[in-house]
Amino acid sequence: MEEQYPQALAKYLKAQGKSKADLSEFHRLLSHTNGPVIPIVNTVDEAGCPDNFTYINQNIYSDEVPRPCTPMFWCECTNGCCDGCECTKERNYDNRGLLLSMGDERIVECGPLCKCGDDCVNRVVQKGRKVVLELRRYPHKGWGVVAKQRLKKGTFVAEYVGEVITSDEAENRGFKDKAQGQTYLFDLDQEFVNDICDFSIDAKTHGNISRFFNHSCGPNMRTRSIYVEHRDPRLHRLAIFATRDIKAGEELTIDYSPSAVEGESVKGDPCHCGSSKCRKFMYF
């Protein structure tokens, strides 16, 4: 797909001795997505493809991280897992696949051993991204992601995937990343109190479109812990859902510090989310 590029910007870059951003390598990388095609738009500067980035569709595990064990759970449902399913207890999704609860509780989907079929209502995240997204360059924030269609509250948008690493390794990498101004680390702490966790996901060199979701202090999406193949709380997967109805054209954002209190001045890098609830700084 041809990227949009206004004449004025092209003229400005030419006057600066710079050229139009080359997005061809970026298009090639994003074509590895297993969801709808992702257009790329840069009307801001000449940034192109990030260095040393590989597009993946599922988590990869570093050598130091144990592989989650094989599942010991399954349901025997033949009714599409609508009622009394051993996996869900309470239903996770309505018949359109929209998440029913916006709370913090874990989501357990039917897994590979379950007797239900592909049409089971409890198989949403495992089917991958279905929504149409666009990658767009923003002033002060770098790349961000825009919804190219209307999204209903509860829509599964994408899974946050990357390299699963130990927390010690995450701390080392986080230190360097912060010095370079950008970090792509996500702690797998959604099942633990006091932010304690053993593992994190780093999407800096291996990741998918979720790696480009920017922070907002008034976000329109949130992450939830999700289990499909196993139920090891240390190694849960991270699914991202719309927390309200979203219009086509809106930037899709998550709160990088969801436990921060509104009005509290948190430390970190300056935030450019533009929300009326902005805490002025991002906390990493």
Ligand X SMILES: C[S@@+](CC[C@H](N)C(=O)[O-])C[C@H]1O[C@@H](n2cnc3c(N)ncnc32)[C@H](O)[C@@H]1O
Site residues for ligand X per CB under 6 A: 140-144, 181-184, 211-212, 214-216, 271-273, 282
> Among 143, 138, 130, 159, which residue's Cα sits nearest to residue 221?
159
Quote the CA–CA distance of 157 and 161 in Å, as a whole number: 13
- For ligand X, the closer of residues 114 and 185 by Cβ is 185
Shortest distance, position 183 Cβ to ligand X, whole Å: 5
Nearer to ligand X, 101 or 182 (CB): 182
Minimum Å gap between C-beta 218 and ligand X is 11
In terms of CB distance, is 92 or 208 closer to ligand X? 208
* Beta carbon of residue 100, minimum distance to ligand X (angstroms, whole number): 28
Identify which of residues 106 and 272 has a Cβ nearer to ligand X in the complex: 272
CB half-sphere exposure, 212, CA atoms < 13 A = 24
* Strand pairing class (40-41; 60-61): unpaired
| Total residues found in the chain within this entry | 284
Minimum distance from residue 272 beta carbon to ligand X (Å): 4
Query: What is the 3-class SS of 30-80, one letter each residue?
Result: HCCCCCCCCCEECCCCCCCCCCCCEECCCCEECCCCCCCCCCCCCCCCCCC
CB nearest ligand X: which residue? 142
Give 13 or 278: the residue with its C-beta nearer to ligand X.
278
Q: Do 162 and 147 form a contact (C-beta atoms < 8 A)?
A: no
CA distance 19 to 8: 13
Shortest CB 77 distance to ligand X, Å: 38
State in angstroms the smallest separation of the CB of 113 from ligand X.
34
* CB of 209 closer than 8 Å to CB of 38: yes
Q: Which is nearer to ligand X, 74 or 138 (CB)?
A: 138
